[in-house]
Amino acid sequence: MSYRIEYQWACWRLPAGHRPGSVTRFVVAIEGGDNNLCDAVTGKRVRSWDVCMLGTASQVLKRAVYFAGACEGGSLKPGSRDCTPEAYIRRIRRLLEGDHAAPSQGNWYPRVRVPERHPLVAHAQQLGLPLTREQRYGDWFALIELEVSQRDLVFDFADKFPDLQGWQLAEVAGLPRT
Amino acid sequence: MTGVQTCALPISIDSYDGGQTPTLLRPGDHGISYMAQYEIFSTLCSDRAQRSVDHSLLVDGMPVTPERYLGLWRAAIAESVDPAVAVSVHGIQAVAVLRAPLAAVSEAKSSWTSCPFGTFARFQAMYGHHFLYGDDGTFSLELDLALPAHAQAAYYAASMMCNRFDRGCTSWQASIAVRQVGVRRHQAGLFEIAEA
């Protein structure tokens, strides 16, 4: 049976800004990959960093709970070890509540890619954001271009469209690989 | 695969506006399935445990963390009871409800080699005394899961019905209903027993 292995976790805490009602937001990136996919050159299991959870503490924890559901059946193994859903949620909660610094290297940046018919596309057009089309594996996607200064918009998108996954809204670069 | 995996019918006692209702964790009208432990946790993590994060789901009126909530279910699963005890102790009866046009299923055969009756006709011969026949050619029956072999029979009969009808079709039903029997007040949840 194949399963996903998670190797490393990184979390950025973005303190509440000056906008009324704003709250602290988090971006959680996870380095992970499938147990049965190996790199043809190195022979190591394939892995990549992806933004997996993004938003308020509540939004991030809800997503963590959703992912945790795969632990009980062995489809998700942090560190390649069996783990209960409760332990997985605790791990993510510690990331949010820990007094840790942001990762010493690497950063996250907005990169919004959604299916062309997703309502976020119409919303982005209303906001006057530039769009480009991209075909991936035969399906058309819309790429919404955001400047780094506009990156907080991804949290508005996460609030408005809770169906969107973190990796549809942001990416990471420069984080150390295992 | 080897070994036998125990499956369960996870039921919560939901409280709304002071009333208490036993609720099946994964309801559905087109199939009877009993849940393995990993399915229970997957289902919980897709809905109820998430709702505990922002306290839109409370346990005994109190907020709980999702970790604690899942832990309570884990304890409840460890202390799970058979359907007969669920009736006598908790006042919860689980019944399988089957309903369909008889002509459409009368020739059905089971795709399971482990099915104890093999064909729907034989199932009808064994459980026909429970059948109710409607004027429109439909049959309906309820099998009390607390009675011996009824849970197994309901599963295989529903499986044959699933092979004959589309999921979206409303002319048939194979589901599990949970009912409150007697006038006893439910304990606030199976959790209380699990925690004792």
Average pLDDT, chain A: 94
Is B128's pLDDT higher than 80?
A: yes
pLDDT tens string A93-113: 999 998 767 888 999 999 999
Is B1's pLDDT higher than 60?
A: no
Nearest CB to A58; choose among B42, B44, B53: B53
pLDDT tens string A46-78: 999 999 999 999 999 999 999 999 999 999 999
pLDDT, residue A159, reads 95
pLDDT, residue A18, reads 62
pLDDT, residue B130, reads 92
Is A1's pLDDT higher than 90?
A: no
What average pLDDT does this structure show over B35-43?
96
pLDDT, residue B193, reads 44
Among B70, B72, B73, the strongest candidate for a mutation testing the A interface, having the largest count of A CBs within 10 A, is B70
pLDDT, residue B181, reads 87
Contact A66 B37 (CB under 8 A): no
Average pLDDT, chain B: 88
Q: Are B86 and B146 in contact (CB under 8 A)?
A: yes
What angle do the packed helices B37-46 and A57-68 form, to 10 degrees?
160
pLDDT band at A37 (very low <50, low <70, confident <90, very high): very high
Q: Are A10 and A29 in contact (CB under 8 A)?
A: yes
Nearest in space to B120 (alpha carbons), one of B103, B137, B136: B103
Supply the pTM of this predicted model: 0.89
Residue linked to tokens 């769009």: A131
Nearest in space to B7 (alpha carbons), one of B28, B37, B43, B42: B37
pLDDT band at A88 (very low <50, low <70, confident <90, very high): very high
For A44, A48, A176, the CA distances from A37, given in Å and listed in that order, are 8, 12, 20
How far is Cα B194 from Cα B100, in angstroms, rounded to an integer? 39
pLDDT, residue B57, reads 95
Nearest CB to B45; choose among A58, A65, A93: A65
Residue ranges of chain A whose CB lies within 8 Å of a chain B CB? 58, 61-62, 65-74, 84-86, 89-90, 93
State whether ipTM is beyond 0.85. Answer: yes
Cβ within 8 Å of residue B61, ≥6 positions away? B15
What average pLDDT does this structure show over A128-136?
94
Please name the amino acid found at residue B20.
Q
Nearest in space to B86 (alpha carbons), one of B6, B178, B20: B178
pLDDT tens string B147-178: 999 999 999 999 999 988 887 788 899 999 99
How many angstroms away from the CA of A163 is the closest CA of chain B?
A: 13
Is B92's pLDDT higher than 70?
A: yes
How many angstroms away from the CA of B56 is the closest CA of chain A?
A: 12
Is B134's pLDDT higher than 80?
A: yes
CA-based R_g, chain B, Å = 18
Nearest CB to B49; choose among A65, A74, A90: A65
How many angstroms away from the CA of A147 is the closest CA of chain B?
A: 32
